């Protein structure tokens, strides 16, 4: 597929475009290949049409793969729970117990409060993100080529290379942080945390002058949490996917470059396993740390 019918730039653009469904205004798009006489909800046939759909467009491939991988996670762990035995455990039970112990140690090491939600949330975040990241090891042309045979224009199979997915998870964590900050500290305590530190004074007038400065500093620090969570995961996975795509282009540049590309692809895939796991672990660990901070009363 690399280089057969597309230029290198068109090939890269194709593999980095989501299957987008949205309300497309009337007009001519995709160099005249998609002409819309009356605006309505439909699939975009190029990036230009996807951009014209605006904020309310849905990335169907991101939704599909993230939900499928989430269901697989629930299925296999439910299967392990149903088959649990006090005797000699099977392979699936061994794997599930190893993951549970790993998550338990991570939570105990980073979370000092008492909350029965943190451990299950950490398990879900780690496994789900790991599975989504793992899709990056699928050869870049396999699933898009199969999708093209079924008439689907685009198919991005790594949900974490879509900022909509990473920001969605980060905002979910952020809302939990806000909820527990207010629940544990109260509205007054949470507002005080944003306005009465890091600068304070025993003089009431000076302290009042410090309030807007403190609020700006603490508000930026608060908002930086979901932004950094989302962009760190997205940036690393997007860069990894881009490298795989660039290596795939080498297969169309002759036998020598194809062999060299194969060696590069194997080496990058082995190294990328570390990135895949590390990014899932970092997202999970920061979630635990942020929730721990939300449970602390200053």
Active site amino acids? 228, 232, 236
Query: Dihedral sign, CA of 114, 120, 125, 127?
Result: positive
Query: Is the four-CA dihedral 53, 55, 57, 63 of positive or negative sign?
Result: positive
Query: Which of 221, 202, 198, 222 is closest to 211 using CA atoms?
Result: 198
In the numeric block, which tokens belong to residue 184? 């544990």
d(CA 60, CA 155): 9
Contact assessment for residue 158 and residue 241, using Cβ atoms and an 8 Å cutoff = yes
User: Residue 106: which of 280, 297, 296 has the closest Cα?
Assistant: 280
Alpha helices in 111-154 (DSSP H): 118-134, 142-149
* Tokens 């009337």 belong to residue: 26
Residue for token digits 């920001």?
Answer: 167
- List, in order, residues 6 or more apart from 3 with CB less than 8 Å away: 11, 249, 251, 252, 253
Give Cβ neighbours of residue 240 (< 8 Å, ≥ 6 apart).
Answer: 136, 268, 272, 275
Q: Is the separation of the CB atoms in 130 and 277 below 8 Å?
A: yes
């Amino acid at each position: 597929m690399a280089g057969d019918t597309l230029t290198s730039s068109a090939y890269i653009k194709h593999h980095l475009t989501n299957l987008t469904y949205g309300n497309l205004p009337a007009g001519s798009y995709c160099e005249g290949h998609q002409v819309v006489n009356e605006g309505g909800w439909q699939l975009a046939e190029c990036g230009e049409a996807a951009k014209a759909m605006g904020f309310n467009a849905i990335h169907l491939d991101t939704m599909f793969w993230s939900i499928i991988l989430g269901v697989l996670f629930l299925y296999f762990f439910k299967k392990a729970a149903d088959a649990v035995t006090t005797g000699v455990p099977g392979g699936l039970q061994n794997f599930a117990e190893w993951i549970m112990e790993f998550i338990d140690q991570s939570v105990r090491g980073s979370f000092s409060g008492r909350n029965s939600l943190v451990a299950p949330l950490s398990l879900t975040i780690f496994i789900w993100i790991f599975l989504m990241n793992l899709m990056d090891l699928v050869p870049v042309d396999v699933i898009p080529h199969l999708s093209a045979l079924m008439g689907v224009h685009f198919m991005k199979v790594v949900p974490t290379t879509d900022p909509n997915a990473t920001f969605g998870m980060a905002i979910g964590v952020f809302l939990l942080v806000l909820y527990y900050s207010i629940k544990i500290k109260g509205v007054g305590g949470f507002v005080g945390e944003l306005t009465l530190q890091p600068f304070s004074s025993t003089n009431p007038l000076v302290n009042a002058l410090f309030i807007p400065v403190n609020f700006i500093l603490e508000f930026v620090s608060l908002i930086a949490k979901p932004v950094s969570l989302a962009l760190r995961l997205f940036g690393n996975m997007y860069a990894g996917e881009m490298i795989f795509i660039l290596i795939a282009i080498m297969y169309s540049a002759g036998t020598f470059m194809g062999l060299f590309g194969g060696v590069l692809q194997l080496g990058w895939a082995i190294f990328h396993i570390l990135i895949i796991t590390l990014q899932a672990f970092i997202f999970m660990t920061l979630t635990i740390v942020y929730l721990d901070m939300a449970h602390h009363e200053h």
